[in-house]
Amino acid sequence: MDGAPSDDWHPDTWLVAGGRDAGPGDPLNVPPVLASTFVADGAHSYTRVDGSPTLEALEALVGRLEGGTATAFGSGMAACSAVLDQVPAESHLVLPGDCYHGVAGLADDGMARGRWTVDRLPVADADAWVAAAPAADVLWLESPSNPLLEVADLAPICAAGHASDALVVVDNTFATPLNQRPLEFGADVVVHSATKFIGGHSDLLAGVTVTRDADLDAALRRSRMLLGAIPGALEAFLAIRGARTLALRLERGQANAGELAVRLQDHPRVRDVRYPGLPDHPTHDTARRVLDGFGAIVTFEVDGDAEETEAFIGRLEVVHSATSLGGVESTIERRARWSGQEHLPPGLVRLSVGCEHVDDLWADLARGLG
């Protein structure tokens, strides 16, 4: 599924050409292999145990992009759960203060059961992460973070983690492998919600882990098997098909996002626009060093309370009121409406910028803001 010519290919080319193993008379695109059971004594026996050709194509595609070996899961949370499944009892976890609420909930649940202890640190404070590393068993980073888009200085944090034998995990969902490759900075494992930018069309649930450690990958695959966290064949097929256009979608989405961020800064009903590409973003200098692009997410505060912010969202026509992100269509939501996010300002919204024309997006936002 990953032939030698790809070693010299640009990632944009690999997205289109990778994960294929077609010969004469074979389908050009890897089809969804709709099978749970295979005839004995071949490469596959039972999909939950050893995968399928469709899953392997997705894993080859994403793994080469990140520079490691990928394992596909039924959702991003399934991938995160499998990583935490490797953590011994009585461990100490360090998570971002600005952390995806699903992962924060999973960590809090484990703490309540006595599995581990948890500390939370600001993503932007690299010195605090380095100082915390000697007492940590796991350093779990999101970069950029969700939803405040803080970018971590990965190199010193990863180095400190390795010096202390801590497992360094980086959620790379927002950056995608095109804008950031955490394994190159020294991370032990990368996680993705492939539901989002990799799939790109709001029509599937899938997750991926990527690591260069063969033993860790084997352990993650064992957890996938035992937990039954395998993705379906159709979901894997859709993720592959979506990933083929990731470079094009991300190029358009982040160009739109950068322009909208600048325009939003000048609107009288908007405050605290957060986009790593803006010079006044708290981690702009770090983002310029570690990212190849600033991404397609913009977070900002509407000057109003929760009711006024929901009214603004309700007036939008081009931008859809919906959770999740990374699709071809632009979506927006007020983050404090979700359990575990109540601490955020009531007017804070996360805008996932899609591939529509930027002037139509701006006209819609400006009309909604009034």
Active site residues: 48, 100, 171, 196
DSSP 113: T
Sign of the C-alpha dihedral computed for residues 86, 231, 201 and 176 taken in this order: positive
Q: Nearest 5°: CA angle at 78, between 139 and 75?
A: 120
Cis peptide before 147 (omega within 30 of 0): yes
Decide if 83 contacts 191 (C-beta within 8 A): yes
DSSP string, 12-40: HHHHHHTT----TTS-SSPPP---SB--T
Q: How far apart are the first and last CA of the chain?
A: 52
Instruction: Tell me if the bond preceding 11 is cis, omega within 30° of 0.
Output: no
In a 13 Å sphere around the CA of 222, the CA atoms on its Cβ side amount to 9
- At residue 301, the 3 state secondary structure works out as strand
Per-residue exposure over 16-31, b if at least 16 CB sit within 10 Å of its own CB, e if not: bebbbeeeeeeeeebe
